[in-house]
Structure 1
Amino acid sequence: MTAAPGSVDPVSYFGDIRSQLDGLPTELLGEYRAAKRVLGIPRAPRIVAIGEAWHLGALLVTADGVLATGDVARSLEPSRKGYTAISARERDELRFAAYRGGVPEGRAVHYNWTPIDFAALAAGGTSGPLAIQDGELRIRWSAAGGYAPLDGYLRERIELARGVL
């Protein structure tokens, strides 16, 4: 059952979460930029870092918003390799794209994320993995699973980030 609009304020809720995250390490947010030509010279695709966020499972919390996670690549300097599987080549191409985009080697970057629409949530709808049900914010952290209370989910991930668990 969907809660009545206005029963939960997601903006205030995530403001409180940000105060708990202060001082914890962040991860890079990136934007995939497809291959293109610049002055007739081909330019390889790249993943460019555009910000930082706290990674909390299915969510990325930024200084001014919340995002549903998408994909992640760990930057790797391009090299010549022989591949036995196309999927391995494709994964490395994304790692190389992160490196070409200026992400330091070995550093992870999140891309293909989607913003959470707080207005839709406040109106009693859903956005990404979040919904308001029975007057409480809930998360669906698995496509096959149901919704679980967001409080417990985030509490556990913040404790993990602090090294408490």
Structure 2
Amino acid sequence: MNEPTPNALLTAARAALADAPRERIGELQEGRRLLGIPRAARIVPRGTAWHLGVLLLTDDEVLATGDIVRSRAEVRRGFAAESQRRRAELAAAAARGGVPEGETVHIGWHRLDPARLERTSTPLAVRGGEVVVRWSTAGGYMPLARYLDERIELLRHPPERA
């Protein structure tokens, strides 16, 4: 029996997710200068996707996740770490880009081509003739079909208090 192709698996996943909630995807645009004055960075919308762990599934593409930011208005405060400062800057950039406060937006994602999977592709790869997902850098590989089934179930029926 032939294994379903990655595109067939992703098409079936889209059908199963038709009425499931989506999340915003965006792209960070560093501020340009206007009359010599630098403008603040903002996150511009690039659509929506179903968030399936390490994958973002749009109507016609599959993306590898990057960073997830929750939009919040910019406020002045001290930070114990530079990473906290950067997260606050990204949250403010999301608000400047029009993401409603409290909503999440995915940035730093990249497109995957399921038709051209190579051994080094992340997080999708082909191992032993089967399309697999590497669900974490420390984790192993899982068959794409099983991964999609589990993630769709979690998205449609999240655990209590999740």
Q: Does the CA-based 8 Å contact 2:31-2:40 persist in structure 1? A: yes
Q: Name the counterpart of 1:3.
A: none
Q: How much does 1:134 deviate?
A: 2.8
Measure, in 2, the Cα distance between the counterparts of 1:144 and 1:132.
18
Q: Name the counterpart of 1:13.
A: 9
Structure 1: segments with no counterpart, 5+ residues: 1-5
Report SS of the residue matched to 1:119.
helix
Quote the RMSD (CA, aligned, Å): 1.9
Instruction: Tell me which amino acid in the other structure corresponds to 2:154.
Output: L
Structure-1-length-normalised TM-score: 0.87
Measure, in 2, the Cα distance between the counterparts of 1:63 and 1:24.
13
1:111 matched to 2:111? no
User: Greater RCO between the two (CA within 8 Å, min separation 6)?
Assistant: 1
Measure, in 1, the Cα distance between the counterparts of 2:113 and 2:144.
16
Report SS of the residue matched to 1:14.
helix
Q: Mark the CA change 1:126 to 1:23 in structure 2 (over 3 Å): closer, same or farther.
A: farther
Structure-2-length-normalised TM-score: 0.89
**Aligned to 2:58, which of 55, 62, 82?**
62
Measure, in 2, the Cα distance between the counterparts of 1:136 and 1:19.
22
Measure, in 2, the Cα distance between the counterparts of 1:131 and 1:25.
27
Q: Name the counterpart of 1:27.
A: 23
Mapping for residues 43-62 of structure 1, pairs under 5 Å:
43-62=39-58
Structure 2: segments with no counterpart, 5+ residues: none
Measure, in 1, the Cα distance between the counterparts of 2:4 and 2:95.
41
Instruction: Name the % identity.
Output: 52
Q: How much does 1:68 deviate?
A: 0.5
Instruction: Tell me which amino acid in the other structure corresponds to 2:104.
Output: A
